[in-house]
Amino acid sequence: MRSWTPSSWRGLPISQQPDYSDPNAVQAATERLQALPPLVHTGEVDRLRQQLARASRGEAFVLQGGDCAERFVDLNAQAIQDKLKILLQMSVVLTWGARIPVIRVARMAGQFAKPRSKPTEILDGVEVPTYRGDHINSHDPSDRQPNPQRLVQAYFHAATTLNYVRALLGGGFADLRHPQHWDLGFVREPSHRAEYQDMVSRILEAVDFMEAVGADSEGSLSRVDFFTSHEGLLLPYEEAMTVQTPTGAYNLGAHFLWIGDRTRKLDQAHVEYFRGIRNPIGVKCGPTMAPDELKRVCETLNPDNEPGRLTLITRYGAGRVQELLPGHIQAVQECGAHVTWSCDPMHGNTRSTKQGLKTRDVSNILGELSAVMDGHRAAGSVLGGVHFEMTGDDVTECVGGPQGLADEQLAESYETFCDPRLNYAQSMEIAFLIAQRLRRDA
C-alpha cells in the first residue's frame, strides 16, 4: 500500500469539495490553522477509542448526536447549554434505564461542512451555488461563493464552543438534579408518563447522581466524559488539523470523525486521509454499500483490526433494514472485523412535505431503530450505539413524537438550514424508549 502522509489524499479523486477561486487564500488559511493550538488532546482521543472498543462488545453504549450542521449564528451560551443538557439528560436516562455506561459524542464544535446532492440551486429564478455549511459559504443566497476565511473562522467557532462546554462541565453544570430540568409535560400517553416519571424519580433520588454521568472516573473533559465529532468532509481543513506525534498522526480538531455516505468510496481521497489518522473513526453505511465493499472498507481503514478504531453507522431507511442489514453484518462477521455498530435512523428517513420542508417521521426513526436492534440480535451481533440529529430546543422539524406534530405545524419553528432535527421532547422520549428496549434485551 502507498505510504501515507496528511496530504497523500491530494491528487486522488475527491467529491463534495468547494471550488475556491483563490488557492493562495486557501493556502494562507491552512497555514494559519497549522500554527494554531489543537482543540483536543491525544490522550482524550485514545480514551474514546478504548471506550468505543467496550461499546463494540456491548459493555457500553454510544450516544452520538447534535445538529445536522452547526451555524456560526448559534454560537451563544444558551444554545450550547441546551445542546449539552439534552445530550447529558438522554445519557442519564440510558445509563439508568438500561444500566449501561454511555459514551457521549456530540456532533458539535466542528460540524460545519455539509455534503450536498447538487452543486447549484435555483432561488427566485436565479441559479446560485448550494449552501455547503458555514465552513464554506453563507446561507444567504447573495453570499454563496466559497470563502477560504471561513476555514479559520470555523476553527475559532469550534474552539469557543468547546471551551464553553469544558467550562460548563468543569463547573458542575452536569448536575441536573433539579426537578425543573425533568418536566415530563411533553408525554401525552398516561401510562408512558407514569413509567417515565418512575424512572426520573429513581434518577433524582439516587444518592450518587453524579455517578450516572460518570463524573467520578478520570474524565476527558474535566470530570465528565464528553467527546466531540464531525463529518471529516473538508479535507484541506482536516489535513491542517493533523498533528504528527510519536504514536502516529492525530486529527486534533475533534475526538471522532466520520466519513459520510457520499464520500466513502475506496481508492478516493477521504478514505485515503482517514486511513492514516489514529482517531477513532466512523463510516456511514447506506443502501449503496455492497457487502464486499464493506469488507474492503474494514481492511483499509482498520488494517490492524483494532477494536474501537472503526464505527459503522448504518442508515438505510426504516423500510430497508431487513433487506440490507443482514448482509452487512454477515460481511463483517465473515472477515472477522472488530467494529462498533451504530444506528443512524435519521438520514434514510427524510422526505419533503407538501409545503416544501424536509422532514422525518418519529415513527420511522423508531421503526429503523427497532428493526436494527432486531437485526443485530438475530445475527448474534451487537448494536453499540445510536446517532441522531437533534437539538435541545423546541423546534418543529420532525413530525410525530409526543407532541404529535403534523406536516402543517412544521413552519411554526423550523430553524435548520440543513436536515430536520428531533426536538427536546422527541429526543427525550426516544431516550426513554431505547432505555426500555435495551433493558428488555439485556
- Kindly list the residues in this chain that would bind ligand PEP in the complex (CB under 6 A): 68, 115, 231, 260-262, 284, 286, 315, 347, 419
Q: Which option in ligand PEP, Co ion, none does residue 326 bind, with CB closer than 5 to 8 A by kind?
A: none
> Closer to Co ion at the Cβ: 65 or 101?
65
Beta bridge partners, 62, equal: 103, 385
Distance CA(333)–CA(298), nearest Å, equals 11
Which residue is closest to ligand PEP by CB? 260
- Which residues lie near Co ion (CB under 5 A)? 68, 419
Q: At a CB cut-off of 8 Å and minimum separation 6, what does 156 contact? A: none
- Residue 352 beta carbon to ligand PEP: minimum distance, rounded to whole angstroms: 16
Distance CA(325)–CA(311), nearest Å, equals 15
> Closer to ligand PEP at the Cβ: 18 or 286?
286
Among 254, 314, 307, 263, smallest CA distance to 287 is for 314
- Residue 285 beta carbon to ligand PEP: minimum distance, rounded to whole angstroms: 8
Pairing of strands 256-259, 248-251: unpaired
Cα 258–430–382 angle (5° rounding)? 55
- Residue 261 beta carbon to ligand PEP: minimum distance, rounded to whole angstroms: 4
Among 72, 167, 149, 76, smallest CA distance to 110 is for 72
Residue 228 dihedral angles phi and psi, to the nearest 5°: -110, 155
- Residue 262 beta carbon to ligand PEP: minimum distance, rounded to whole angstroms: 6
> Closer to ligand PEP at the Cβ: 111 or 251?
111
Q: Which option in Co ion, ligand PEP, none does residue 282 bind, with CB closer than 5 to 8 A by kind?
A: none
Positive or negative, the Cα torsion across 225, 231, 237, 238?
positive
Asked if 88 and 201 touch (Cβ cutoff 8 Å), the reply is no
- Residue 418 beta carbon to ligand PEP: minimum distance, rounded to whole angstroms: 7
Residue 113 dihedral angles phi and psi, to the nearest 5°: -115, 135
What type of residue is 441?
A: D
Q: Which option in Co ion, ligand PEP, none does residue 260 bind, with CB closer than 5 to 8 A by kind?
A: ligand PEP
In the three-class reduction of DSSP (H, G, I as helix; E, B as strand; rest coil), residue 225 is classed as coil
> Closer to ligand PEP at the Cβ: 255 or 284?
284
Q: Which option in Co ion, ligand PEP, none does residue 253 bind, with CB closer than 5 to 8 A by kind?
A: none
- Residue 416 beta carbon to ligand PEP: minimum distance, rounded to whole angstroms: 11
> Closer to ligand PEP at the Cβ: 30 or 263?
263
What type of residue is 70?
A: E
> Closer to ligand PEP at the Cβ: 260 or 384?
260
> Closer to ligand PEP at the Cβ: 38 or 115?
115
> Closer to ligand PEP at the Cβ: 289 or 434?
289
Among 379, 392, 407, smallest CA distance to 108 is for 392
Q: Which option in Co ion, ligand PEP, none does residue 132 bind, with CB closer than 5 to 8 A by kind?
A: none
Q: Which option in Co ion, ligand PEP, none does residue 115 bind, with CB closer than 5 to 8 A by kind?
A: ligand PEP
- Residue 313 beta carbon to ligand PEP: minimum distance, rounded to whole angstroms: 7
CA distance readout (Å), 394 to 59, 170, 427: 33, 27, 10
Q: Which option in Co ion, ligand PEP, none does residue 192 bind, with CB closer than 5 to 8 A by kind?
A: none
> Closer to Co ion at the Cβ: 88 or 233?
233
Q: State the chain's maximal CA–CA distance in angstroms.
A: 62
Start-to-end Cα distance in the chain: 42
- Residue 25 beta carbon to ligand PEP: minimum distance, rounded to whole angstroms: 27
Q: Which option in Co ion, ligand PEP, none does residue 315 bind, with CB closer than 5 to 8 A by kind?
A: ligand PEP
Q: Which option in Co ion, ligand PEP, none does residue 261 bind, with CB closer than 5 to 8 A by kind?
A: ligand PEP
> Closer to ligand PEP at the Cβ: 392 or 420?
420
- Residue 419 beta carbon to Co ion: minimum distance, rounded to whole angstroms: 3
- Residue 350 beta carbon to Co ion: minimum distance, rounded to whole angstroms: 8
Reduced 3-state DSSP string for 110-167: CCCCCCCCCCEEEECCEEEECCCCCCCCCCCHHHCCCCCHHHHHHHHHHHHHHHHHHH
